[in-house]
Copies of this chain bind each other. A is one copy, B any other.
């Protein structure tokens, strides 16, 4: 079945916001086995809006609109859809009562314009909005359906998941299931090369790579009539890819690298502390985004200056003078230093040149060293990743977490 997504709002056409709703809805519709052939964005203009809906009814089976359901004069989606379908707008008792009550509860007088939020095209179904005042609407006519959702993603997404998803699922012939494999430590082109045979021969399931902030995500998608058949297809492809990429795959779906590191530390009853120079606290920051991390993460020190490296981590002045702050020797002393002062099982250090200033021929921008001290073993790894300051720092933090993960495996 063909589906079309229509976003309504002049703010989108002015570039004030990005149409993230279309991405969200498209992903869900693909998952449900619907074909989406068009996205259209139109402004708060009744004539153009009506024409767009008429065109959508002509070429698609289902239209989902987002935006334009609010109380102001600019909110015209219901008017446009009703006009295109040749339906009248009529008052909806429950919605009107709910509106009046919400204003009464807030002790405020309801402005006249809010009344329009309680009007619906005749014969339509109201989708209650638990996260805002504008209800959604579902209207069917001549075998076509138009679904009107609010514009703010925080209202639209739960309304879609709770009210629209089940409706569309019941209508769909297929089920689509997907699984994301998260890869770190190898680049996108290397992944492409290693999996060339799979990419060349894929059909169902499909396999698609996405580069994401220093990682590569592979999405496997199966389209089947039966749930179990899809599960089987996903499982087999996952195994095939695992046989090739091995430990470069660190997790699935929404598991972050820091969460996987946390899980490994917890399983092994080990604790960690970080000494960061160029990453300036990003590694600690990322780790502490995991709830419950206090069981494994003790502390972190951001030693940006040489003085701080000596004072807090006991890096020797001689080492800094002889090899420089960005060297494997300093990385090693930082790692052993943080492990000792924190009393943890593992110490991880990062020192590097994030730029844009501070590089030299011998030590260019993008050079960094990562030190890992585990119990009585310590080693340093050298990386060169010339890029923007932000990317170098993020990549250095990712590499440090990945090295720690591989060490724990």
Q: Which residues of A come within 8 Å of B, CB atoms?
A: 7, 12-20, 22-30, 36-43, 45, 48, 52, 208, 210, 219, 274, 276, 278-285, 287-289, 291-294, 297-305, 307-308, 311-312, 341-343, 354-357, 389-390, 393
Does B291 lie within 8 Å of A280, measured CB to CB?
A: no
Does A15 lie within 8 Å of B24, measured CB to CB?
A: yes
C-alpha gap A341/B311 in the complex (Å): 9
C-alpha gap A231/B22 in the complex (Å): 36
Does A13 lie within 8 Å of B41, measured CB to CB?
A: no
Does A39 lie within 8 Å of B16, measured CB to CB?
A: no
Given contacts A284-B280, A304-B288, contact A23 B27 (CB under 8 A): no
Q: Show 18 A/B contacts (Cβ-Cβ < 8 Å), sorted by A.
A: A15-B22, A15-B25, A15-B28, A16-B27, A19-B23, A39-B40, A40-B40, A278-B288, A279-B285, A279-B288, A280-B284, A280-B300, A281-B283, A289-B389, A292-B357, A299-B303, A299-B312, A312-B341
C-alpha gap A7/B298 in the complex (Å): 49
Question: Which chain B positions have C-beta within 8 A of A36?
Answer: 13-14
Residue of B nearest to A299 (CB): B308
Q: Give the secondary structure class of A's interface.
A: mixed
Given contacts A16-B208, A22-B19, contact A302 B284 (CB under 8 A): yes
Given contacts A36-B13, A280-B287, A285-B279, contact A301 B299 (CB under 8 A): yes
Taking A12-B22, A13-B38 as given, write out 7 further A-B residue pairs in contact, using a Cβ cutoff of 8 Å, ordered by the A residue number.
A39-B39, A289-B389, A289-B393, A291-B389, A298-B308, A299-B301, A299-B303
Does B298 lie within 8 Å of A300, measured CB to CB?
A: no
Does A14 lie within 8 Å of B30, measured CB to CB?
A: yes
Question: Which chain B positions have C-beta within 8 A of A282?
Answer: 281, 285
Q: Which of B42, B293, B304 contacts A297 (CB 8 A)?
A: B304
Question: Which chain B positions have C-beta within 8 A of A305?
Answer: 294, 298-299
Given contacts A208-B16, A289-B390, contact A302 B281 (CB under 8 A): yes
Q: Which of B38, B276, B342, B390 contacts A308 (CB 8 A)?
A: B342
Residue of B nearest to A393 (CB): B289
Q: How far in angstroms is the closest Cβ of chain B from A354?
A: 8
Does A285 lie within 8 Å of B285, measured CB to CB?
A: yes
Residue of B nearest to A40 (CB): B40
Q: How far in angstroms is the closest Cβ of chain B from A178?
A: 11
Residue of B nearest to A43 (CB): B37
Does B39 lie within 8 Å of A210, measured CB to CB?
A: no
C-alpha gap A341/B39 in the complex (Å): 58
C-alpha gap A341/B341 in the complex (Å): 14
Q: How far in angstroms is the closest Cβ of chain B from A342?
A: 7
In this complex, which of A26, A283, A355, A390 has the most chain B Cβ atoms within 10 angstroms of its Cβ?
A26
Q: How far in angstroms is the closest Cβ of chain B from A29?
A: 8
Task: Report, nearest first, the 7 A-B pairs whose CB atoms are least far apart.
Answer: A280-B288, A15-B27, A281-B281, A281-B284, A15-B26, A300-B302, A299-B308
C-alpha gap A239/B22 in the complex (Å): 38
Residue of B nearest to A219 (CB): B16
Question: Which chain B positions have C-beta within 8 A of A300?
Answer: 280-281, 301-302, 304
Residue of B nearest to A51 (CB): B59
Question: Which chain B positions have C-beta within 8 A of A294?
Answer: 304-305
Q: How far in angstroms is the closest Cβ of chain B from A137?
A: 23
Does A301 lie within 8 Å of B298, measured CB to CB?
A: no
Question: Which chain B positions have C-beta within 8 A of A343?
Answer: 307
Question: Which chain B positions have C-beta within 8 A of A307?
Answer: 298, 343
